[in-house]
C-alpha cells in the first residue's frame, strides 16, 4: 500500500490507496505545485505539508487541516519515490 500522488493543472493531490477510491473515507491532501515542491525539497515541517510521527508509531501527512496516516513501510516507499524523482513535476509530463 502506498501514498498516491496525482498532479494536474498546477495542483497536487495525495491520497491513501488503502481507502476505496471515491468513498467517504477517501480523504485527499490538496496542495499547489509550489507547496508540494517545498516539501520535495526537504521541508517536511511545513507550513503547507508536514510529515510527523504519531505516538502510535504511524506517520501523519498533514496539509490545510486534513491528514493521512501511514505506517513506516508506506512512508519509506514514499520517501524512496521522492529521492528517485518519481513525484517531481517533470515525472508527470506527457
Given a cut of 80, is residue 30 above it in pLDDT?
Answer: yes
pTM of the model: 0.87
pLDDT, mean over the chain: 90
Cα(43)–Cα(71) distance, integer angstroms: 20
Amino acid at each position: 500500500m502506498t501514498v498516491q500522488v496525482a498532479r494536474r493543472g498546477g495542483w497536487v493531490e495525495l491520497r491513501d490507496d488503502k481507502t476505496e477510491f471515491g468513498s467517504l473515507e477517501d480523504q485527499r491532501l490538496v496542495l499547489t505545485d509550489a507547496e508540494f515542491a517545498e516539501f520535495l525539497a526537504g521541508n517536511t515541517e511545513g507550513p503547507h505539508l508536514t510529515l510527523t510521527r504519531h505516538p502510535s508509531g504511524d506517520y501523519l501527512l498533514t496539509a490545510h487541516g486534513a491528514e493521512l496516516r501511514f505506517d513506516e513501510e508506506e512512508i519509506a516507499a514514499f520517501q524512496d519515490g521522492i529521492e528517485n524523482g518519481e513525484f517531481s513535476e517533470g515525472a508527470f509530463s506527457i
